[in-house]
Structure 1
Amino acid sequence: MDTFNSHNTPLDCSVLENLFLEKGILKSFNKNDYFLRQGDKDRYVGYVATGFFRLSRIDSNGNEWIIGYSFEHDFVCDYPAMMQNKEASVNIQASTGCTVYLLSFREMNDFWETDMNTQRLGRNMAETMFSEIAQRLYSFYDTPEQRYITLMQRCPRLQERLTLKEIASFIGVTPETVSRIRKNLLYK
């Protein structure tokens, strides 16, 4: 699978994955079911066994903006809202049928406190997520074409799994702009 979330590659998260597989509650989601709705309190972290989720945010004008995805072997939650015990700032919705292992926030906190190695892993994961979010923010100073190219280089098969509309929303443009970008790239 392509690496959509860069935090999957550099860190060895096997001990955390094993925790979910051993102690997590397996739950199935149908396509379009919500793992979490914007405004709700998030109490669970999920480990995606199959399928993938779309993370989106509804702005004050009622427009939906796709801000990310969680694919197989990814973790899924609204981490900032959970850490601050606030209402979710995103919707997390199944893009396909999904199976997810769930752990409560309390179980996760207990895990992080078991020893120095797990604390270090948690810190490294948080730092990697921060870096990923910063890079996403910086990318909006690039052209839409460069954002599209970067996304396709990172995830070459992504366009097989997502609609043109979803890709456009993720890079912050219209579907027509993505079509023009694709056409221009074919001629280069």
Structure 2
Amino acid sequence: MNSAKEIFLKSVKEICPNVTDAELSQFALKITIEEFNKKDFFLQFGKVQKSIGFIASGLVRSSFIDNDGNEITVGFYAEGEYATHYPAFITQQPSKYSIQCLEPVIMVCLSYENIQWIYEHLPSFERYGRLVAEEILKRQQTRIESFIFQTAEERYLDFIKCHSELFNRISISHLCSYLGIERQTLTRIRQKLAHQ
């Protein structure tokens, strides 16, 4: 459990190198450690996300249900990343997404109230909040643009390049859903690449 806390605080210190040890200790008092089993939900559709979760270990998947009742995967988040539907979190509105654990997960959580307290009492952490938000925004923008500017094959190649460590940790159906392609299309892409 302590190691999860240490991993998180180290990542915070990397983002905010000017934070003092005293400030970091105060900040650390506001975090909680939560453990989830495989298939547990960190966030469910229609619920308000109470905490932002930093993944110390494990893997989660973010998804939504489309108008036809299909479950669409929009993201995979692993160690060192944040599990959140950020716009809904910062406005404390019900989320349009679910975040489910694909493996047992240990998460370091910061509640909405505690984040507000931190910003008010430990202003040096505002940089931390801004940089985390920017990282989440970049991730979302990259995903949107991949569907505008890339072919299915390019999205697949990009995934292999950027997320090779996730390859054996996710199912083919979740990967296809994330890439926005049918299973047969993925098979064709793989066969084509194998023969190049």
The normalised TM-score by structure 2 is: 0.81
Encode CA deviations 1:43-102: one digit per residue, 9 max, x unaligned. 111122221111001112111111012211222122111111210111010101112222
In 1, Cα distance between the equivalents of 2:145 and 2:37?
34
Runs (5+) with no aligned partner, structure 2: 1-10
Partner of 1:133: 140
Counterpart-to-counterpart distance in 2, 1:18 and 1:76: 23
2:20 equivalent to 1:12: no
1:145, distance to aligned residue in structure 2 (A): 0.0
From 153, 156, 162, the equivalent of 2:164 is 156
Q: Percent identity?
A: 29
- For 2:153, which of 142, 145, 148 is the aligned residue? 145
**1:124: which partner in 2?**
131
Relative to its length, the structure with more helix (as a share) is 2
CA gap of 1:35–1:144, structure 2 versus 1, over 3 A, is same
Q: How does 1:145-184 map to 2 (within 5 A)?
A: 145-184=153-192
Conservation of the 8 A alpha-carbon contact between 2:15 and 2:131:
no
Change (3 A) 1:157 1:49: closer
Secondary structure of 2:110's counterpart equals strand
Q: Number of aligned pairs?
A: 179
Q: 1:92 to 1:56 in 2, by over 3 A?
A: same
Equivalent pair of 1:32/1:93 in contact (CA under 8 Å): yes
| Kept after mapping to 2: 8 A contact 1:36/1:93 | yes
Change (3 A) 1:116 1:78: same
Segments of 5+ residues of structure 1 without an aligned counterpart are 1-8
2:95 match: 88
State whether structure 2 residue 56 is matched by structure 1 residue 49. Answer: yes
> Aligned in 2, Cα 1:84/1:134: closer, same or farther, shift over 3 Å?
same
Judged with a 3 Å threshold, the aligned counterparts in structure 2 of structure 1 residues 18 and 62 are, in CA distance, closer, same or farther, namely farther
TM-score computed with the length of structure 1 as normaliser: 0.85
- Counterparts of 1:156 and 1:75, CA distance in 2: 19
What is the RMSD of the two structures over their aligned residues, measured on CA atoms? Answer: 2.5
Distance (Å, rounded) in 1 between the aligned partners of 2:27 and 2:118: 11
Answer with 114-123 or 148-157: which moved more. 114-123
